[in-house]
Structures are given as structure tokens and as C-alpha cells.
């Protein structure tokens, strides 16, 4: 390749232009000479004495004692050289806030001591949210119940149903418990055993709780979306500021809760439906079957499908062990073939929708473990799967504008294409 370079000759600047340029430069320097000269600032440096930082106290040593069978708190304290007077003082200090007789075998007590071996504090976990804290200050023991200092992280996951909801959730790296949390939110619209189809889609925004950098459980579900057989259901958690009550609502502000749950058992298979003429599996004659049979393992929890009052618990012939519950608006539910009843469930007991009332069995005329679930309306049996139940009260109108602003934020996240991300730890 050849390169050609063209050379240009410089033209001389005209004399007039050169003279004008010289005059302008002279004028500029003349003006500068008349401007006041700036004096340099006299900046005095203040002495910067080194501040003495107090040394941090040495860390406390932690030891963990596991409570053995027959052991009391006093026994553990005595093993750690607490004097009888100190033990008595601790017992008296704890008595108003916690019954030490409730301390359970196998649980742990954390004991904190200084480097010289003097014990300064004890901790005992009461439940998943709180612990008993005993500390020695100025020679006196003080006890209080404290909340765990959880670190809350917010996460969003999505998943597609292939087999069932629990396997879809665990496939996204979460615990099976999260699947039950999802099912509880949409339990009034979706039966998570009979209604699910391959390809159903869920999205959920939820809290994860961490203690000492370890995952310890789930917090609140903030929002969820479930597409079932082409129909999309949404749920947004909202708290009333004045009463601190909360509920889940759809975007329009309607409560997701209805008068009755769709199923008395989570993730149970229907083996027989409501019918006016069914071949009885034992008697081999055609007769009405006014319930829905759910097959489940013996001992599976059975929940009340709505708030109500227990009117009967006991043996009822072919129905075996049975529970009857009276509900408002002239409804009554029945739960047949139970193995046993939940603690505290008896005649005149008040129950809440979703509360465990008994356990699946095979009592009475039964070919295997299952629950026969029945509903009466106005004294007449109705099909639990076909009847349309009314929703409970919607969101209070004075909160609707605020609620929709919050819901729109969650909708924005739900609308982000799922191919972009599955975790929103840093986005929410």
C-alpha cells in the first residue's frame, strides 16, 4: 500500500493582525498590575493531641450446659460454684417472669464468665423468639426476658410446579416449611393436592431470620403470587396501624380469607367425592355419600375449616371418632373416622379456621386411614368442593390508598422477567 503525504506551506500572518495581538496582550497585563494582590492565608495548625482509646474489655467465655433428666437450674448453678444464697436470689428474681419448673430435659443453658472464671450472665431459650437472661450487676442478679436480635433478610424466589409444591420449594434451596406457608395463604382458593397442575407458577417475597449468622427460621410472608390452571392469585400482607391486626388481601383490597378453607387437610388426596349414590366400599350397596374422603397417613393433622364452636366429640357408630363444629350463618362441619382429638378439643370449645382439631385415623366403618369431611348448610348436606363461600370483610377503606402503593411495589417485582434473577436479596 502506498501512502501519500501532502505538504502545505505556512502563510505569513498579516502585519495588522500581528499588531492588534500585541496591543491586546499588553492591555491584559496592564490591567492585572492594578488588581489587588491576594495575601496568603495564615493557617494555624491546631495541635492534635492523641486521644487515649480505652482498651476493650476481654471477651467473655461461653460454656454450654445440657439439662439432663431430673436436673434443675439449681443443680447446674451449684456445679458452677454458685453459693446457696446466689441460687436463692436467682430463683426469686426469675419467679415473677418465668416458671423454672418448665425447664426441659435436653435444652441448653449458656453460661458466660470472665477470664478469671467469675460468672456474669446466663441465657436459656424459652421459644423461637425469646430467651431468659440473668445477669449479675454490682453484686445483684437481675432477670429479664429478651427477644433474640434476629437479622432479617428479605428474599424472593419463584418456581414451577412439576410434582408438588414442597418439592418445587425445596428445589429452590428453601425449607419445606415455606411450602406450607404458601399453602396457608392461598388455602381458601386452592386445594394444593387436587387443584395443582404441572406448569403452575409461584412467586413469593418473604423474610428469613438469622441469628449469629445462622438461618434459624422464616419470618413473615410479605407478598405472594400463584398461577393455578391459568388463573393468577395474589396476596399482599397489610397491617392496620391502629389495631396492629394484619391480613392478606388481593390487589383490589379483598381479603383472601373466605368463610371456609377449601380443604381440612394440607396436601391430601381425594379418594371419594360428594355423591347422592355411591357404592359403599364395605356394605356393597348404593347409598348417598354426603362427604369428601381425603386419604392421608394415620396421625395427619386435621384442621377446622372455619371459626366455630365444637358441638360434639366422640364415637358415632360407622363414622367412628367424630367432631362436629357449628359455624355462623347456619353452617355445620363434620370430621369422621379420626384416630384421636387434638389437645383441648371438646364440646363447647371455641376453634379458629386452620386450627388443628384432630388426627387422621381409620375408626368406624373404614377401609383405610382417611378423613370423611362433611358440611351442612341450613341442615342440608352440601358439596364442599362445589359450594361458593363468601369472603370475609375487605380492607378498611381508609387504608386502601396506602395499601395499593405497597402492593404496586411488590407487583413491580413480580413483573420482572423470571429469567433475569431468582433472588432479590439486594434489590428489595
- List, for residues 150-185, the tens digit of each pLDDT value: 999 999 999 999 989 999 999 999 999 999 999 989
State pLDDT tens for residues 76-100: 888 888 888 888 988 888 899 998 8
**Which of 362, 382, 402 is the C-terminal boundary of a domain?**
382
Question: Comparing C-alpha atoms, which of 145, 147, 125 is closest to residue 135?
Answer: 145
Residue 414 covered by a domain: yes
Give the range among 182-186, 277-281, 313-317, 326-330 with minimum mean pLDDT: 277-281
Q: Is residue 247 part of a domain?
A: yes
What integer pLDDT is reported at residue 1 of this predicted model? 38
Q: How many domains does the chain have?
A: 3
pLDDT tens-place string over residues 267-296: 778 888 767 555 556 555 556 788 899 999
Is 202 domain-assigned? Answer: yes
CA distance 259 to 263: 12
Residues in contact with 424: Cβ distance below 8 Å, sequence separation at least 6, in sequence order: 154, 155, 156, 205, 413
pLDDT band at 5 (very low <50, low <70, confident <90, very high): very low
Residue 110: inside a domain:
yes
Specify whether 311 is located in the same domain as 352: yes
Are residues 299 and 326 located together in one domain of the fold? yes
Residue 411 has pLDDT above 80, yes or no: yes
Residue 47 has pLDDT above 70, yes or no: no
Q: What is the pTM of this model?
A: 0.64
What is the band of 48 on the pLDDT scale with cuts at 50, 70, 90? low
pLDDT of residue 20: 53
pLDDT(239) > 50:
yes
Instruction: State whether 289 and 368 are in the same domain.
Output: yes
Q: Are residues 253 and 395 in the same domain?
A: yes
Residue 35 falls inside a structural domain:
no
Percent of the chain with pLDDT over 70: 80
Do 181 and 121 lie in one domain? The reply is no
Structure letter (DSSP) for residue 413: H
Per-residue model confidence (pLDDT) at position 54: 61
What are the two backbone dihedrals, phi and then psi, of residue 170, each rounded to the nearest 5 degrees? -65, -25
CA-CA distance, 384 to 260, in Å (whole number)?
Answer: 9
Question: What is residue 65's predicted lDDT score, i.e. its pLDDT?
Answer: 84
Q: Check pLDDT > 60 for residue 40.
A: no
241 & 324 share domain: no
Query: What DSSP string describes 172-218?
Result: TT--HHHHHHHHHHTTTT--TTTT--TT-EEEEEEEEEEETTEEEEE
List pLDDT tens digits, range 57-74. Answer: 667 778 788 888 888 888
Residue 333 sits in a domain whose CATH number is 2.70.70.10
pLDDT value of position 86: 86
Mean pLDDT across the stretch 401-426? 77
pLDDT for 262 equals 85
193/254 same-domain check: yes
Residue 138 domain flag: yes
Domain presence at residue 12? no
Predicted local confidence at residue 104, as pLDDT: 85
Q: Are 273 and 292 in contact (CB under 8 A)?
A: yes
SS3 of residue 282 by DSSP: coil
| pLDDT at residue 15, rounded to an integer | 52
Q: How confident is the model at residue 381 (pLDDT cuts 50, 70, 90)?
A: very high
114/371: higher pLDDT: 371
**Res 140: pLDDT:** 86
Residue 209 structural domain: 150-258+391-428
Is residue 237 located within the same domain as residue 181?
Answer: yes
Residue 119 banded pLDDT, cuts 50, 70, 90: confident
From 123, 147, 171, give the residue that closes a domain.
147
Q: Are residues 135 and 154 in the same domain?
A: no
> Residue 139 maps to which CATH number?
3.10.450.350
Shared domain for 110 and 178, answered yes or no, is: no
Q: Are residues 100 and 163 in the same domain?
A: no
Answer yes or no: is pLDDT of 107 > 60.
yes
Looking at the fold, whether 72 and 124 belong to one and the same domain comes out as yes
The beta-strand segments (E) located in 57-118 are: 61-66, 108-113
Residue 5: inside a domain: no
- Decide if 235 contacts 224 (C-beta within 8 A): yes
Final residue belonging to a domain, choices 93, 121, 147: 147
Nearest CA-CA partner of 260 in 292, 225, 213:
292
Amino acid at each position: 500500500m502506498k501512502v501519500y503525504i501532502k505538504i502545505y506551506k505556512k502563510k505569513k500572518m498579516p502585519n495588522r493582525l500581528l499588531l492588534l495581538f500585541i496591543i491586546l496582550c499588553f492591555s491584559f497585563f496592564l490591567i492585572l498590575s492594578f488588581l489587588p494582590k491576594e495575601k496568603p492565608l495564615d493557617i494555624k495548625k491546631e495541635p492534635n493531641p492523641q486521644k487515649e482509646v480505652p482498651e476493650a474489655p476481654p471477651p467473655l467465655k461461653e460454656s454450654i450446659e445440657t439439662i439432663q433428666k431430673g436436673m434443675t437450674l439449681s443443680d447446674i448453678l451449684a456445679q458452677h460454684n454458685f453459693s446457696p444464697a446466689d441460687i436463692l436470689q436467682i430463683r426469686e428474681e426469675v419467679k415473677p417472669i418465668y416458671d423454672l419448673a418448665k425447664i426441659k430435659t435436653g435444652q441448653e443453658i449458656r453460661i458466660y464468665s470472665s477470664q478469671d472464671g467469675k460468672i456474669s450472665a446466663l441465657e436459656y431459650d424459652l421459644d423461637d423468639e425469646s430467651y431468659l437472661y440473668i445477669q449479675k450487676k454490682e453484686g445483684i442478679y437481675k432477670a429479664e426476658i429478651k427477644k433474640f436480635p434476629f437479622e432479617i433478610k428479605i428474599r424472593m424466589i419463584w418456581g414451577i410446579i412439576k410434582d408438588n409444591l414442597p418439592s418445587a420449594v425445596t428445589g429452590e434451596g428453601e425449607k419445606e416449611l415455606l411450602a406450607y406457608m404458601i399453602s396457608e395463604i392461598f388455602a381458601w382458593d386452592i386445594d394444593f393436592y387436587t387443584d395443582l397442575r404441572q406448569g403452575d407458577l409461584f412467586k413469593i417475597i418473604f423474610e428469613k431470620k438469622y441469628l449469629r449468622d445462622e438461618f434459624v427460621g422464616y419470618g413473615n410472608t410479605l407478598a405472594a403470587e400463584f398461577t393455578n390452571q391459568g388463573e393468577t392469585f395474589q396476596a399482599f400482607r397489610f397491617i392496620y396501624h391502629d389495631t396492629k391486626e394484619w391480613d392478606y388481601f388481593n390487589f383490589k383490597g379483598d381479603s383472601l380469607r373466605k368463610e371456609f378453607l377449601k380443604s381440612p387437610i394440607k396436601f391430601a388426596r381425594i379418594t371419594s367425592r360428594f355423591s347422592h349414590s355411591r357404592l359403599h366400599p364395605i356394605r356393597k350397596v348404593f347409598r348417598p355419600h354426603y362427604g369428601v374422603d381425603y386419604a392421608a397417613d394415620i396421625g395427619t393433622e386435621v384442621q377446622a375449616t372455619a371459626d366455630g364452636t365444637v358441638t360434639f366429640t366422640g364415637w358415632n357408630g360407622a363414622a367412628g371418632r367424630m367432631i362436629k363444629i357449628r359455624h355462623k350463618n347456619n353452617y355445620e362441619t363434620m370430621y369422621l373416622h379420626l384416630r384421636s382429638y387434638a389437645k383441648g378439643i371438646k364440646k363447647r370449645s371455641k376453634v379458629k379456621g386452620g386450627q388443628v382439631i384432630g388426627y387422621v385415623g381409620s375408626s368406624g366403618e373404614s377401609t383405610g386411614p382417611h378423613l370423611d369431611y362433611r358440611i351442612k348448610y341450613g341442615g342440608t348436606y352440601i358439596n364442599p368442593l362445589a359450594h361458593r363461600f363468601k369472603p370475609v370483610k375487605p380492607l378498611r377503606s381508609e387504608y386502601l390508598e396506602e395499601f395499593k402503593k405497597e402492593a404496586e411495589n411488590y407487583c413491580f417485582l413480580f413483573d420482572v422477567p423470571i429469567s433475569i434473577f431468582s433472588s432479590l436479596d439486594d434489590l428489595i
